[in-house]
Amino acid sequence: MTLGQRIQEHRLRLELSQEALGEKLGVSRQAVSKWEADAAVPDTDKLIALSKLFGLTLNELLQVEGPEAGQGAENAEETPRSELREEEKPGKKKMHAASWLLPGLAVLALVLGLTAMTVSFGRMAGQLSDRITRLELRVNQLEATQSAADLENLVADCKLEVGSAVYSSQMDSARLYRDVTVTVSLSRTDLVEEQTVFFQVYGAGAEARQVDGQAVPGTRGVYSAQVPVVPGLGETIAVGIQIGGTEYLQPLARIISVSDNAIFYDPLLEQK
């Protein structure tokens, strides 16, 4: 069964017309018709969408059935054996050399043809394997992108409080920093053991700073840190979350001013 026949079979199984399938995939009815007629092959994105729609893996959707070489070879061997038995029957004259030469050549041509088909099928299978590998890589990339999008819903709430004033030249030449206590609460706590949380400050007039977040004792999914902010520069405080190889940076607040006992800022975290 060809790829086009499998697409048609599963489309009919879902009771979809060519036009309805095209609408789900964002293509025209004519494109679906060409796929099913094996006049064209779907793009990578469409193959992934088809496999998900049909509830199949890429291997199941793209499988190729080769010729039954073993059965053909067996049939090819039966012919000469049948002829030999016919020659050995009593009263039968021995066949002239020319009479068995043509059948022998026919058998040889059949064997050579089956061998060529086997080699061709092997090449096709290798090309298909390479294509499946590329598709799997693409699926992994799409899943990584989806994982990054899921991180946007992890930060549930944040709170900023004034800390101590520190005069430091550690990152810039002779500058006054004000420590701001930042606390964030995460909406999900099932990934606490696998994630890394940090806080970052950036803006015009000073170098970006990064501070590791610490889990608040006695809580789950709550992180806090003392973040150095330069008063009057309008810097932005953001929280960074890293899970596996995926990292997401969520801006929390833009600092307006900081005094000894108060902090004013514009919240940047969208409340879900």
Distance CA 217, CA 109 (A): 81
The residue with greater pLDDT, 157 or 150, is 157
Q: What is the mean pLDDT of the chain?
A: 76
What separation in angstroms does the CA of 244 have from each of 7, 69, 109, 192, 241? 36, 47, 58, 12, 10
pLDDT in tens, 180-206: 999 998 887 665 556 789 999 988 777
Distance CA 25, CA 21 (A): 6
CB 165 within 8 A of CB 179: yes
pLDDT confidence tier of residue 73, bands split at 50, 70 and 90: very low
Is residue 169 scored above 50 in pLDDT?
no
State residue 143's pLDDT score.
52
Is residue 18 scored above 90 in pLDDT?
yes
The residue with greater pLDDT, 92 or 60, is 60
pLDDT in tens, 221-271: 899 999 988 888 889 999 988 877 777 888 999 998 888 788 899 998 765
Is residue 115 scored above 60 in pLDDT?
yes
What separation in angstroms does the CA of 182 have from each of 25, 165, 198? 45, 15, 11
State residue 110's pLDDT score.
78
What separation in angstroms does the CA of 220 have from each of 159, 184, 193, 252, 269? 16, 11, 10, 20, 20
State residue 222's pLDDT score.
92
State residue 84's pLDDT score.
46
- 205 dihedral zone (left: phi>0; alpha: psi -120 to 50; beta): left
CB 158 within 8 A of CB 182: yes
The residue with greater pLDDT, 198 or 118, is 198
pLDDT in tens, 124-148: 666 666 667 777 666 655 554 444 4
pLDDT confidence tier of residue 9, bands split at 50, 70 and 90: very high
State residue 123's pLDDT score.
67
State residue 269's pLDDT score.
78
Is residue 44 scored above 90 in pLDDT?
no
State residue 43's pLDDT score.
86
State residue 132's pLDDT score.
72
State residue 194's pLDDT score.
67
Quickly list DSSP for the chain. Answer: --HHHHHHHHHHHTT--HHHHHHHHT--HHHHHHHHTTSS---HHHHHHHHHHHT--HHHHH--PPP-HHHHHHHHHHHHHHHHHHHTSTTPPPPPHHHHHHHHHHHHHHHHHHHHHHHHHHHHHHHHHHHHHHHHHHHHHHHHHHHHHHGGGSEEEEEEEEEEEEEE-SSSSSEEEEEEEEEEEES--TTGGGEEEEEEEE-TTS--EEEE-EEPTT-SSEEEEEEEE-TTS--EEEEEEEETTEEEEEEEEEEEEE-SS-EEEEE-SPP-
Query: Region 90-101: what's the mean pLDDT?
Result: 55
State residue 85's pLDDT score.
52
Is residue 121 scored above 80 in pLDDT?
no
State residue 8's pLDDT score.
93
Distance CA 265, CA 262 (A): 10
